[in-house]
Amino acid sequence: MKNLEIHPEAKALIFDVDGTLADSMPVIYISWRNALKSYGIDFTPEIFLHRAGLPLKQTVEELNEQFGTSMNPIEVRSIVEKDFQEHMHLVKPVEPVCKLVREFKGKIPMALGTGGQRENAWKIIETIGLRDCFEVLVAADDVENFKPAPDTFLKGAELLGVDPKHCQVFEDGARGLEAARNAGMIPTDVTKYYQVTIGEELY
C-alpha cells in the first residue's frame, strides 16, 4: 500500500478527526446503537454510515423523521457521549494518516476540521497521541453550516492564514470530501489507505 503524500501545491494541511486520524467510527457506531436501543430503533451500520459526518442534532432530527420518534438531541448526546467516553480507550490511530502528521509537525501549518464536538475531538486526538501536533481545531460549534458546506475548512484556512486553494484536506467521508471541493481545496480520500469495519463487536 502506497504512502499518503502531500500535494505539491499544498501549503497547509487540514484533517478530519473521526475516521481520518482516529479509527473511532466502530466505537462511535456501537455507542449510538446502544443509545438508540432504548428508543426502539434498530441502528444498523448502513443507517450510521449514511449519516457519517453530520452533527448530532441533525442526526437526531433525521432519525426522528425516519422512525417517527421524538428523541431529544440533548438527551441522546448525553447517552452517546457517556458510552463513548467509557470506551474511548478502544479508539486506534489511523497509522498512514497519523504518520504524515508526525512527519510534517512543525514543517507545515496543520489544523483539524470536524463535525463533532470540540471537547470530544481534543480527547480523541489526545488518545491517539497527536495532541501536541495541533493548535487549531474547528468543530461543530464554530460554524453555522456543516459539511458538505465549506465553512469548517474555510474557517480552518482562515485561522492558519493560508489561501484555501493551497490547503490539502484529508477526509474519509463523502460529505467531508465534498466540503473540501466546495472550499476550493485539495481533497484527499484517506479510505484508500486503510480499512474500517463498522458493526463488529468491540465490547
pLDDT digits (tens, 9 = 90+) for 7-39: 999 999 999 999 999 999 899 999 999 999 999
pLDDT of 3 reads 81
Q: Is the pLDDT of residue 201 over 70?
A: no
30: Cα separation from own chain's centroid? 16
The CA dihedral of 142, 124, 18, 109, to the nearest 10 degrees, is: 60
pTM, whole model, 2 decimals? Answer: 0.87
Helix (H) or strand (E) holding 123: helix 118-127
The set of cell numbers assigned to 141 is 460549534
Separation of alpha carbons 170 and 17, rounded Å? 9
Res. 196 pLDDT band, cuts 50 70 90: low
Helix (H) or strand (E) holding 85: helix 73-87
Instruction: Let me know if 151 is a catalytic residue.
Output: no
Q: Is the pLDDT of residue 53 over 80?
A: no
Res. 1 pLDDT band, cuts 50 70 90: low
pLDDT digits (tens, 9 = 90+) for 75-113: 999 999 999 999 999 999 999 999 999 999 999 999 999
Q: Is the pLDDT of residue 164 over 80?
A: yes
Separation of alpha carbons 20 and 79, rounded Å? 24
Quick check: helix, strand or coil at residue 168? Answer: strand
Do residues 183 and 157 touch, judged by C-beta distance below 8 A?
Answer: yes
- CA nearest neighbour of 38 among 72, 87, 86, 62: 72
Q: What is the DSSP letter of 88?
A: G
Q: Is the pLDDT of residue 189 over 60?
A: yes
Catalytic residue among 16, 18, 23, 172: 16
